[in-house]
Amino acid sequence: MLLPKALKKGDTIGVIAPASPPNMNRLRNAIPFFTYLGLCVKLGKNIEKVHGYLAGTDEERLADFHDMIADDAINAIIFSRGGYGTGRFVDAIDYDLIAKNPKIIWGYSDITYLHTAIRQKTGLVTFHGPMLASDVADPDFDSISATSFLQLVEPTPLQYNECISQLEVLVEGEGTGTLVGGNLALLTSTLGTEYEIDTKGKILLLEDIDEQPYRVDSMLNQLRLAGKLEQAAGIIIGDFANAEPKSEPSLTLDEVFQHYLGGVSVPVMSGFKIGHCFPHFAVPLGVPATLKTIDKTLSIMPGVTNT
């Protein structure tokens, strides 16, 4: 486990678009949030590029990422948005460069592919949390989501409980392991590749957006057949926004979760406000975590260090 250094006032965050192009007005509207925290912001040189549904070519997006990693003046990289595209250049990333320059890397959704690849190639802890154009600039951006960024300043353990949202126990028990996962569709797309998600003995986070129940069914079935569900030490179900069926008849999303996760031999809880939602409780990936259904808590070790 490689912990990045905590931020301090005056540090600089680099902002790039590794997937889809951001709305630049929304991105710029988000910058004052970080300056209020005492941080400087530097935009990637290619962040305004557009190449179809991508924020520039693969080479341009990768160049921005490598530039931010190599730049000693950049203390953290917080992505502008997700969308689609990080998996297109994941095999061209210089992982030795990341290991030699460990710094905060923060985002979610399509960024799940980067989180998984970086952690499994380098051991670096990264962060699943709200991004500038897609979240910070949203009118619904709330205090819990905003406060989540403070974990980058002080190495404080986190605990998720029912003070944040109502939680439902699907399978009772207690499990401890490294917290991994993220967007379900992206995790499924790693299967059969060099970057296949490793869930053995891990606490697995699952979340997604705009996927109908039959699509969630298909992806969970693929994880089941690959042995990824039973290998986990625990499973937490985050937010699945806009997951209503578009045609009838259909299973409900809860019925799908019950079918695939209700019979596993590890603890499972749902209802976590982690994902495409507000509040969005940000979490470090790659650190030890403990899931306890008896008191409905998820306890997570800090993701940064002061040393």
**Does pLDDT of 71 surpass 90?**
yes
Q: For residue range 137-152, list pLDDT tens digits in order.
A: 999 999 999 999 999 9
Number of other CB atoms surrounding residue 226 within 10 Å: 16
The answer to whether the CB of 117 falls within 8 A of the CB of 196 is: no
Comparing CA positions, the residue from 37, 38, 60 lying closest to residue 49 is 60
| Active-site residue, 134 included | no
CB burial string 43-69: b at 16+ within 10 A, e below:
bbebbebeeeebbbbeebbbbbbebbb
Q: For residue range 178-231, list pLDDT tens digits in order.
A: 999 999 999 999 999 999 999 999 999 999 999 999 999 999 999 999 999 999
| Active-site residue, 51 included | no
The percent of residues in the chain predicted with pLDDT above 90, rounded, is: 99
What type of residue sits at position 63?
A
Q: Which of 20, 60, 80, 109 is catalytic?
A: 109
Q: Which of 207, 211, 270, 280 is catalytic?
A: 207
Q: For residue range 28-51, list pLDDT tens digits in order.
A: 999 999 999 999 999 999 999 999
What is the band of 275 on the pLDDT scale with cuts at 50, 70, 90?
very high
Which domains are present in the chain? 12-152 (3.40.50.10740), 158-300 (3.50.30.60)
| Active-site residue, 109 included | yes
φ/ψ (deg, to 5) at 97 = -60, -40
Q: What is the pLDDT of residue 307?
A: 85
Q: Where are the alpha helices (DSSP H) in the chain?
A: 24-36, 58-70, 95-100, 112-122, 143-147, 184-189, 213-225, 228-231, 253-261
Q: Which of 115, 128, 276, 280 is catalytic?
A: 276
